[in-house]
Amino acid sequence: MRLALIGAGRIGKVHADSICAHPQIELAAVVDACAQNAEVLARKYSSVVRRVDDVFADAEIDAVLIASSTSTHIDYLERAAAAGKAVLCEKPIALDLAASERSAQTIADSGVHCALAFNRRHDPQYGALKQALASGRIGNLEVLSFTSRDPAPPPADYLAGSGGIFRDMMIHDFDMARWLLDEPIATLHATGSCLVDPAIAEVGDVDTAVVVMTTVSGRLCTISVSRRACFGYDQRIEAFGSGGMLQAENETDTRLKIIGTQGQLEEPPKWFFLERYAEAYRGELDDFYRSWKEGRVPRATIDDGVEALRLADAAQRSLEEECVIRFA
Amino acid sequence: MRLALIGAGRIGKVHADSICAHPQIELAAVVDACAQNAEVLARKYSSVVRRVDDVFADAEIDAVLIASSTSTHIDYLERAAAAGKAVLCEKPIALDLAASERSAQTIADSGVHCALAFNRRHDPQYGALKQALASGRIGNLEVLSFTSRDPAPPPADYLAGSGGIFRDMMIHDFDMARWLLDEPIATLHATGSCLVDPAIAEVGDVDTAVVVMTTVSGRLCTISVSRRACFGYDQRIEAFGSGGMLQAENETDTRLKIIGTQGQLEEPPKWFFLERYAEAYRGELDDFYRSWKEGRVPRATIDDGVEALRLADAAQRSLEEECVIRFA
Amino acid sequence: MRLALIGAGRIGKVHADSICAHPQIELAAVVDACAQNAEVLARKYSSVVRRVDDVFADAEIDAVLIASSTSTHIDYLERAAAAGKAVLCEKPIALDLAASERSAQTIADSGVHCALAFNRRHDPQYGALKQALASGRIGNLEVLSFTSRDPAPPPADYLAGSGGIFRDMMIHDFDMARWLLDEPIATLHATGSCLVDPAIAEVGDVDTAVVVMTTVSGRLCTISVSRRACFGYDQRIEAFGSGGMLQAENETDTRLKIIGTQGQLEEPPKWFFLERYAEAYRGELDDFYRSWKEGRVPRATIDDGVEALRLADAAQRSLEEECVIRFA
Amino acid sequence: MRLALIGAGRIGKVHADSICAHPQIELAAVVDACAQNAEVLARKYSSVVRRVDDVFADAEIDAVLIASSTSTHIDYLERAAAAGKAVLCEKPIALDLAASERSAQTIADSGVHCALAFNRRHDPQYGALKQALASGRIGNLEVLSFTSRDPAPPPADYLAGSGGIFRDMMIHDFDMARWLLDEPIATLHATGSCLVDPAIAEVGDVDTAVVVMTTVSGRLCTISVSRRACFGYDQRIEAFGSGGMLQAENETDTRLKIIGTQGQLEEPPKWFFLERYAEAYRGELDDFYRSWKEGRVPRATIDDGVEALRLADAAQRSLEEECVIRFA
C-alpha cells in the first residue's frame, strides 16, 4: 500500500513511525501546510514532500492518512472519496455532528475504504478485555467504568478550539464504551467542574467530568475524566458482571519495585498516549491495511466516529441544561 | 460502662462480641423481642436476659446499644433520651427523614450521649485514607469514587421493607462521602437498573445504581453499588486530587499467591461485612465508650444519620423523577 | 485449663494477651524472677503473682507456659514433667543439643502433654500454604525458599548469649522447612557474613546468612536471613513445584495505595513479630489447649525443637568448617 | 554498519529481526551450514546467502554476528580477529575455559571490536535495577538473589552437548551477578538435583540447582535455577541492602486482572526469552553498534564471557566434589 501522510505534526510523527515499521506499507508522500514540518518528516523517513492536490491526483497513491488539524478533516475525507483513495482519518471527524454525518454519507456513497483512528480499540490490554467479555468470563456485563485522565491540560489556545472536554477528550471513552457495551445507549447524564485551571472555565469548558449512561438493556456505564493527573496517563477500564470482574490497569515501563521505609513502590503509570498506546498505533495501522487488503470492515469506522460525537454532543447539552438526555 | 444490648439478631451478635472483648464495657443485659434469641446470646456471653422496660428503668445501666429492627429505633432512642442513657444506635435511624430529624432533635434536647453505628468510619484502612487526605498527600481532593457491592442480595421479604437500595445500602457510602468530602453537597443525580433479580424490580427497587454528586466547591463524587458480586464484598474507595491518588483496595484473608499455567492468583476479597469490617466494629464500640468517657462528640453522630438519609431520599427522588436534585 | 505463665518479659506479655482472650484458659498465676515484672502483668490481666515452687506444687494448676530466659527452660521442663503439668515451652529448648535431647526424653518418659512454641506453624498464611502443598496445587514440591529478616539486630549483650544467628533466629526457618518439606534433610551448607554491625563479628557471629539444604528425595531448600531490614519484618516463603508456585508474601496493615509522581506506593511490611504473628500466637495457644483437651499431638512438639536445633548446630559447624554437612 | 549474520537458527532469527529494525545496520549477508535455513532467512529479510569464507574476505562487511552452534564460535572469533571485522558473539564463547581464554586473548591482540551477547544486561528492567543500585537507593548491597527458570527443558540430544546446567543456563545469571555485584567473587558453592526428568540425570546433569557465592567484601549472592516452570519463564532478581530492597519481577503481556470466585487473577509471566527479552535483544544490538561507532567498550565483553564461564566451571566442580570453591 502506497500511503500519503497528510499532517506532519505530533500525531503525524506517530503515524510515520508506524508506517515505516510496517512491512507492507510505503510512506509515499508527506503533506503539511507548513513546508518545513513536512520536510523534516520526509527526510527522517526517506519519503518526499508533496502538495495535497498532487497526492489526490496521483493514481499511484492507494491511501491517505489524515492527521492534519480537525477543521480540515471533512475536506480531505471528501477529496479522498472523490479520488477513490482508501482513508484512515484521525478523530474527531469534525466538531460539528451534522457535518460529520454528511461526511460519513459521502464516504458511504463513494465506497472508498475508510477507517477512523480510534487507537484504543487496538490496545492489546483492551483487546484482551473485549475477548474476555465476549467469551463470558464475567457472565452478563452489568456495569462498565472508565477512568481517563491526561497528565496535563493542553495549552489554553488549543482548548478554545477543542470543542470542549467531551468532544476533544471523552470522545475516546464514548467510543470504547460503545465498542465494549455493544448495544445502544438509552440515556446519558453529565456532570462537570473546573478544578484544574480557571483558564479552562474562562473558555466555557470544564476540566473534570463524569458521565453516566444506561443501555437499552439497563447496563450502567460511567466515565470519569480529568485534564490533569500529576502521576501520568490514568487509563483504566473496569467491567463488572454477574460472574466476575475485569480490570484493565495502568501500565508501567517495568515491573521493578523498591521497598523502603516509606513502603513498597511500583513505577508510576506510563506518562502519556505516545508511551501508553505505542502498540495500539501500530495495531491501528495494521488493521487499516489488512481490512483494506481483505475488503472487510475496519475495527473502527467513520460511523463509529459519528456515533461517538453524538454522545459527546449529548454530554455537552446535558451539562449545560442539567438534564438527562434520552436517546430514541 | 454497663451496657444493655437491645437486639440479639445477626448484627446484635457482632456487637456482643465487641462488647465482651472490650476491657471497660460490661454486657449488663440482653433484650430481644424473641426470648430465645436473647437467651442464647446472654448465655454465650455470660449476661442476663431482661425486658426493655426494666433496662431503661435500671439506674445501674449506663448505656444501650440499639441493634433491633429499624422500625423500633426511634422509640428506643426516645426512651434512652428520657432515661438519660448513653446510646449507640444502628443505622438507619429510620426510613422516614422527618421522623429521624425529630428524633435527632429529641436527643439533642435531652443532652444524652448518642453515636450512630456507621461502622466504616472506624475501619483502619479508611482511617488511613482520611488521614492521608487531611495531611495533603494528594493535594486538593477533586474526585472521590466509591465502589460498594454486596456478595448477594438479601431475601425478598427483607427487601420489601428495606426502604430501597439508597436508604438500605448506599446510606453507608453517603455517610463515607460526607465524612471524606467534609463540605456540603450541592447536587445529586441517581441512575439505577434491575439486573440481578427481577424480584427486586417487583418490589419497586433497583439492584444496581450509580449516584453522582457535586460539592459546593465543585468536587465530584461517584458511588457505584450492586446487590451482588459473586467474588465477595467489593468495598473500594478512590480519592483523586491535584497531587496524586489514594486507593483503598479490597482486603483478603492472607497474601498467599498461587502461580500456575492460568496466571498469578491472589485470594478473593473478604466475603462480607462481618469479615471485612471486624476491626471496624471493635473500633466503633471503643469510640462510643471513649467519647462518652471523655465527654466529646463521637465520630458519627445522630445528625450524620439524618444527613445520610437526606442524601438517600434525594437519590430515590432523582431516580424516580429522572432529575438532578439541587441542595440549598 | 488453669495455666501459670512463667516469664513476664516481652514474649510473656504476648502470651498473657492470648491467654486472657482465650475463652477456655484461665491465667491462674504469673511467675517471674523479677517480682515487679510479675506484679505488673498480674495486675493488668487480673491474675496473681506466685513463686515457681508453689506453681509446680499446686494441684489446681493444669499447665505451665515457659516464657522465661532460655537458660531456665530445661529446668522448668523437667519440673513440669515431674509435676505432671502440661507444658507449652518457648523456643529454643536450650542452646545445647545434647541437653535438649535429654529433656525431650524426660518429657517423653513422663507422658506429660508438651508443645513447643514455634509460632509460625500457626500463622494463617503459612497454614494456607501448607494446605495448598498438601492438596497438590503445585504438584511435586521441588524448591522451597525462605526469606527471613528482622527489622533490626538485638542489643549487643543479648547477641553474646544468643547461641548465634542459626540457633537464635534461623531456628524458626529450620522448623518451618521441616514442617513444609515433610521429609528428612540429607545435606546442609551454610554461608555467612557480617555486614550489618561489626559488633556482631566481635562476638563471633554473622548477621547475614544463607543455608542450602537437600532432602533425601533431592528437593532443594534455601534460607536467607539478615538481622536488619530497614523496611520491617521480611517474612516470605516460596514453594516451587512441578505444577506451579506458591508465594507467601509480606503482610501490611492495610491495602491503601498512594499514587504520586514517584510511583505507586503500598504500605511497608508489618514491623516485627508482634504485629506480623499476632494471630499465630493466638492459634498456637489454642492448639496447645485443644491438643491437650483432645489428647492428640500438638502441631509442634519438643522433638521438633530438638530437630530444628540439630539443623542449627549443623549450620554453625558448616559455617565454621566451610564444609557440607551430611545427615545419616 | 554492514553486518553478516552467521547462523540462521532460532537465535539467528531473533537477531535478524533486530538487525532489520535497526536504522543504521544493514543485514548484508546470511551464512548457515544449512543452505535452506540461510535461504529462508535471507529471503524474509531481503538479504543474500553467502559462504562464510566470502564474508570474511569481503572488505565491504564491517561486522559479523556469530549465532551458529557453540562449537564453531572460537573458529569464527579468530577469523573475525584476523579479518578485522567487528564481532558480536553469542554466549557461551565455548564450553572449554582455556580455549575461551585463548580466544579472548586473540581478540584483544587483534584490537577488533568485540561484544558478547549477554542479552539480559540490556533488559530495561534490569537496567533500572542497576541504576537504582548505583544511585544508592538501597544503601549498601548485602544480598543479591536470582531466580531463573526456563518453561521447559531442552530436548535430550541438546542436553548431552550443552555443557551442563551451569555452563548452558546459569551462565546468564553468573554474568548478571558479576555485572550487578561489581566486585570479585570470593567463594562459590553449588547444590543440585535431578527432579524434572530422569533423562537429564542419565547424561550426568542436574535440572534444579542452587549456587551461593560470596564477594570479597562479604556480600552474599544466591542463584536458583530450574529447567522447568510450568507457568512460563521465571526471571526475577532481588537486591537487598542496608537501606531497602529492589525486586525485578516477572513481566506479563498486559495488566488485565480477572476477579472471580477463585480469586484475583493476573496473567502468567511471559512464556520464554523471545517474549521476555525482546527489547533486550534490540538493546544489545544497538549497544554493539553504538560502542563500535563511538570506539568505546561494549556493555558485555568477551572477557565477561570468560569470567562467567569460570564461575560455571567452578559450580560444576563444586557440585561434583561437594566442596566450596575459593577464588584467589
A178 in a structural domain = yes
Instruction: Give the lowest-confidence range in A71-75, C152-156, C220-224, D297-301.
Output: C152-156
**Nine-digit cell string for A146:** 472508565
- B261 CB within 8 Å of a chain D CB: yes
pLDDT at D226 over 80: yes
DSSP symbol at D120: G
Residues in chain B with CB shorter than 8 Å from the CB of D255 are: none
Q: Check: CB of residue C248 under 8 Å from CB of residue B256.
A: yes
Q: What is the largest CA-CA distance in chain B?
A: 66
Same domain, residue pair A181 and A98: no
What is the rounded average pLDDT of the residues D245-249? 98
Given B230, B264, B269, which is nearest D265 (Cβ)? B264
Rounded Cα gap, residues C65 and B71, in angstroms? 51
Contact criterion met (CB < 8 Å) for D142 and C195: yes
Could you read off the pLDDT of B195-247 as tens digits, one per residue?
A: 999 999 999 999 999 999 999 999 999 999 999 999 999 999 999 999 999 99
Residue B273, domain CATH: 3.30.360.10
pLDDT by residue (tens digit) across D147-198? 999 999 998 888 888 999 999 999 999 999 999 999 999 999 999 999 999 9
**Contact residues for A278 (Cβ-Cβ < 8 A; gap 6+):** none
- Chain A contact set for C230 (CB, 8 A): 260-261
| pLDDT of res. B41 | 95
For residue D218, the chain C residues in CB contact (below 8 A) are: 193-195, 208
The ipTM value here is: 0.95
The owner of cell 498480674 is C42
> Residue D301: which pLDDT band, with cuts at 50, 70 and 90?
very high
Share of chain C above pLDDT 90, in %: 96
**What confidence tens digit (pLDDT) does each residue in C200-211 have?**
999 999 999 999
Q: Is there a domain that residue A227 lies in? A: yes
Work out the minimum CA distance from B203 to partner chain D, whole angstroms. 29
Tell whether the model's pLDDT for residue C285 goes beyond 90.
Answer: yes
DSSP letters spanning C186-224: EEEEEEEE--S-HHHHHTT--SEEEEEEEETT--EEEEE
**Average pLDDT value for chain C:** 96
Residue C55 has pLDDT above 90, yes or no: yes
Mean pLDDT of chain B: 96
Three cell numbers written together for D161: 552437548
- Based on the domain organization, do A89 and A175 belong to the same domain? no
Reported confidence tier of residue C228, pLDDT bands at 50, 70, 90: very high
The model's pLDDT over B114-124, given as tens digits with 9 standing for 90+, comes to 999 999 999 99
Tell me if A132 and D258 make a contact (CB, 8 A cut-off): yes
Cβ pair C254:B21 closer than 8 A: no
| pLDDT tier, C30 (very low <50, low <70, confident <90, very high otherwise) | very high
Q: Which of A195, D57, A182, D185 is nearest to B216 (CA)?
A: A195
Q: Within this chain, do residues B24 and B150 fall inside the same structural domain, yes or no?
A: no
pLDDT (0 to 100) of residue B132? 98
| CB proximity C307 to D under 8 Å | no
> Can you give the three-state secondary structure of B196-259, one letter per residue?
CCHHHHHCCCCCEEEEEEEECCCCEEEEEEECCCCCCCEEEEEEEECCEEEEECCCCCCCEEEE
The answer to whether residue D280 sits within a structural domain is no
The residue from B112, B129, B163 where one domain ends is B112
Residues B172 and B213 in one domain: yes
- What is the rounded radius of gyration, in angstroms, for the C-alpha atoms of chain D? 20
Same domain, B184 and B230: yes
Per-residue pLDDT tens over the stretch B136-150: 999 999 999 999 999
C-beta of residue B196 within 8 angstroms of C-beta of residue A140:
no
State the total domains in chain D: 2
Do A186 and A265 fall within a single domain? yes
**Beta strand pairing call for A141-149 and A234-241:** antiparallel
Contact check, Cβ <8 Å, D220/C231: no
Query: If you average pLDDT over residues D260-278, what whole number do you get?
Result: 96
- Give me the percent of chain B exceeding a pLDDT of 90: 96
**Whether residue C328 has pLDDT greater than 80:** no
**What DSSP string runs through C118-138?**
-GGGG-HHHHHHHHHHHTTTT
* Residue numbers of B between 203 and 232 with CB closer than 8 Å to A: 208-210, 212, 214, 218-220, 222, 224, 226, 228-231
The residue from B112, B131, B156 where one domain ends is B112
The reply to whether B140 and B93 lie within a common domain is no
What's the rounded Cα separation, in Å, for the pair B55 and B107?
A: 18
For the stretch C79-91, pLDDT in tens is: 999 999 999 999 9
Q: In what order do the strands lie in the sheet with A2-6?
A: A26-31, A2-6, A63-66, A86-90, A114-117
- Give the CATH number of the domain where residue D107 resides: 3.40.50.720
Judged by a CB distance cut-off of 8 A, whether residue A328 touches chain C is no
Q: What pLDDT is stored for residue B202 in this prediction?
A: 93
Final residue before a domain boundary, out of A92, A112, A132 = A112
Res. B290 pLDDT band, cuts 50 70 90: very high
pLDDT score of D307: 98
Pairing of strands A256-260, D244-248: antiparallel
User: Is A139 in the same domain as A105?
Assistant: no
Q: Indicate whether B107 and B133 sit together in one domain.
A: no
pLDDT, position D23: 85
Q: State how far the Cα of A129 lies from the Cα of D256, in Å rounded to an integer.
A: 7
For residue C292, the enclosing domain spans 121-326
pLDDT at residue C53 tops 80: yes
Q: Is the pLDDT of residue C284 over 90?
A: yes
Domain match, A108 and A129 both: no
In a domain, A287, yes or no: no
Q: What are phi and psi of A35, to 5 degrees?
A: -60, -35
CB D27, CB D16: distance < 8 Å? yes
Contact of C291 with C115, CB cutoff 8 Å: yes
Task: Give the residue from C234, C265, C267, C272 with the most A CB atoms within 10 Å of its CB, the best one to mutate.
Answer: C265
Statement to judge: residues B145 and B261 lie in one domain: yes
Confidence at residue B307, expressed as pLDDT on a 0 to 100 scale: 98
- Whole-number Å distance between alpha carbons of B90 and B315: 21
Over residues D46-103, the pLDDT tens digits come to: 999 999 999 999 999 999 999 999 999 999 999 999 999 999 999 999 999 999 999 9
pLDDT at B175: 98
Pairing between β-strand B185-193 and β-strand B325-326 as defined by DSSP bridges: antiparallel
Show the low-confidence residues of chain A (pLDDT under 70). Answer: none
Together in a domain, C192 and C57: no
Establish, for the pair of chains B and C, how many residue pairs have beta carbons separated by less than 8 Å. Answer: 80
